[in-house]
Amino acid sequence: MQRRNFLTFLLGGATALLVIPLQVLSAVWNRAAFETTKLDEATKNLSIDNEIVSLDIQIIAPDKAENGAVVPVEVRSHIANTEAIAILVEKNPTPLIANFMFSHGAEPFVVTRIKMAETDDIKIIVKAGNQYFTNSKNIIVLENGCG
């Protein structure tokens, strides 16, 4: 009987260890911002009210993407104390593509591939302290990537 109690206790502990990280991730996940279908609602759900245009945000992406399903994007922030980098595309079904958070001292640099529904600007928003900075780049999509 003791073996059964021990196994039940062990299984319960393992389950708790698996559930706790999921709860932590769900606290960080901004579901409303990622599920909205309008750019202004996505920025509102990210608590962004005022953006300052900055050339200190470097965007490396193709001028023309042959396939909107796979558009390579590289973003580097030269803004001191960068805390987060968000990537948005207004004409996508859900404009917020990604929101990367950085720990203190981490290099604010992201390389990813995104989907684009059609030709549009990719908008980058960088959070540093209580300020938000933005830059954008137009990408011509030759073949539809998402719908």
CA distance 144 to 117: 5
Residue spans of the domains in the chain: they are: 36-141
Please tell me the least confidently modeled range out of 25-29, 31-35, 37-41, 59-63: 25-29
Q: What are the pLDDT digits (tens) for 89-141?
A: 999 999 999 999 998 878 999 999 999 989 999 999 999 999 999 999 999 99
pTM as predicted: 0.78
CATH class held by domain 36-141: mainly beta
Q: What are the pLDDT digits (tens) for 52-87?
A: 999 999 999 999 999 999 999 999 999 999 999 999
